[in-house]
Amino acid sequence: MVGTPGVAREGEPGPAARADEHGPVQATLLRALGVLRFVVLANALVLYALRSGDYAHPRLGWVVVAVLAGWTVVAVWAYGRRSWRRAPLLVADLAVGLGAIALTPYVKGEGFSATLPGFWVMGVVLAWAVVWRAPGGLAAAAAVSVTDVSIRDDFTQANYGNIFLLVLGGAVVGFLSILLQQTASQRDRAERAAAAAGERQRLARVVHDGVLQVLALVQRRGPELGPEGAELGRLAGEQEVRLRGLVQTGSSELVAPLGERDLARLLAELQAAHVQVVVPGTPAVLPAETAGEVVSAVESCLSNVRHHVGRDAPAWVLLEELPDAWVVTVRDEGPGIPEGRLEESAAQGRLGVHQSVVGRLRDLGGEATVRSAPGEGTEWELRVPRHPGRREPA
């Protein structure tokens, strides 16, 4: 096929490759265009050979036609190389076409109808359209049209039709070029994402079968080996929880639409040696902003547990899906918060938990309530409406 020498280099993007430029698609379009260029060249050659006897300067005409033929070969080869599809090649391509048109009156003499290159200029316009999109196609078509009109004494209906089709063709092919390249780029990204997710799942299986099992075993066996073993077991347990969280994330990232997050997964990442996170088996998809605020509120509650109950104090986080709301409960078994204490500190200007939990939830159109009794620990209930209608001012 024409233009094949450049194919091997298609994989590497050029130094100034545009984000939506897709090398392989461009190359395919230009290869198809290469075939077209030889067809229109043959057309120009045959027409000239048939009529060269009638022209004023047939020798010069043969030179022009030979240059067109030579340039066609060079151009098809050069367009095949991605790094060469830049301004110098495109401008030279156009210059050859325009030059051939400009020499037409001298070669053919008065009263000519077709230019020397004829339909050959179509190749130039379409190449501009493929590489420089609709604007490129329009610009090249305009340059060719202006040159064509300027060498004529009279302007016929047929000339107008040719120019009109040329401009239209340049714009349409330019538009299709960008559309095809963008589609191909999107497909490539989707394929890469799918491959990455698949690889991640494979890794998760491998990690599960080996590392997680061993970590769990160390955690369980450790305490039987004395205090040092117990410490080892504790460390292994912490790593097990983190690693498990890591290998389990990933697949759902691809499922949630843009701007939304799975609250269940975000909360599950808070799971730690002393924090148990309980979520339903189905994803809880919320707007990303809302989910982020809820997670921040839960983190505030958990940090409160660490400060007021103890660094290693156990805590539980439960996510529930009710018909009209998401409810997150954060519970600890500490001494509890004395009644009126939160309001009191808020009144004293110490915002702390009150601000970061109650304020956050109110801004989301929900509410946060705390239930606490001496000896029964503290239980925060964060309620986020599932269809946020009105937003109460804070």
Partner 1 sequence: MGQGENDQPDQPDQPDVSDALRVMVVDDHPMWREGVARDLTEDGMRVVATAADGREALARFPAARPQVLVLDLQIPEPRGVEVTARVVALDPSVRVLILSASGEQQDVLDAVKAGATGYLVKSASRAELLEAVRRVALGDTVFTPGLAGLVLGEYRRLSDTPTTAGDDTPRLTDRETEVLRLVAKGLSYKQIAERLVLSHRTVQNHVQNTLRKLQLHNRVQLVRYAIEQGLDDEPLG
Binding footprint of partner 1 on the chain (CB under 8 A) = 204, 208-209, 212-214, 216-217, 219-221, 223-224, 237, 240-241, 244, 247-248, 276, 278-282, 314, 316, 318-322, 329, 331, 376, 379
Distance CA 44, CA 101 (A): 12
Sequence-ordered strand ranges (E) for 170-302: 260-262, 275-278, 285-287
- Which is closer to partner 1, CB of 142 or CB of 278? 278
Q: Which is nearer to partner 1, 108 or 244 (CB)?
A: 244
- For residues 263 and 276, give the distance between their C-alpha atoms in angstroms, rounded to a whole number: 15
- Give 127 or 357: the residue with its C-beta nearer to partner 1: 357
Q: Cα 1 to chain center, whole Å?
A: 33
CB closer to partner 1, 66 vs 322: 322
CA distance 80 to 51: 34
Minimum gap (Å) between residue 318 Cβ and partner 1: 5
Strand partners, 370: 380
Least distance CB 247 / partner 1 (angstroms): 7
Give the CA dihedral 203, 206, 207, 208, nearest 10 degrees. Answer: 120
- Report in angstroms how near the CB of residue 301 gets to partner 1 at its nearest: 13
* CB 228, min distance to partner 1, A: 17
Backbone angles phi, psi at 148, to 5 degrees: -60, -45
Q: How far, in Å, CA of 115 to CA of 166, rounded? A: 14
Shortest approach of partner 1 to residue 282 CB, angstroms? Answer: 6
Q: How far is the CB of 210 from partner 1 (least distance, A)?
A: 8
Nearest approach in angstroms of CB 334 to partner 1 is 13
Residue 118 in tokens: 């004829």
Give the closest residue to 274 by CA, choosing from 243, 303, 250: 303
Alpha-carbon distance of 266 to 63, in angstroms, equals 73
Nearer to partner 1, 44 or 247 (CB): 247
- The dihedral over CA atoms of 10, 15, 17, 18, expressed in degrees to the nearest 10, equals 170
SS3 state of residue 106:
helix
Closer to partner 1 by Cβ: residue 70 or 280 = 280
For the bound state, the minimum distance from the C-beta of residue 306 to partner 1, rounded and expressed in Å, comes to: 16
Helix, strand, or coil here: 274?
Answer: coil
Q: Which C-beta is closer to partner 1: that of 299 or that of 320?
A: 320
- C-beta of residue 36 within 8 angstroms of C-beta of residue 123: yes
SS3 for 387?
A: coil
CB nearer to partner 1: give 176 or 278. Answer: 278
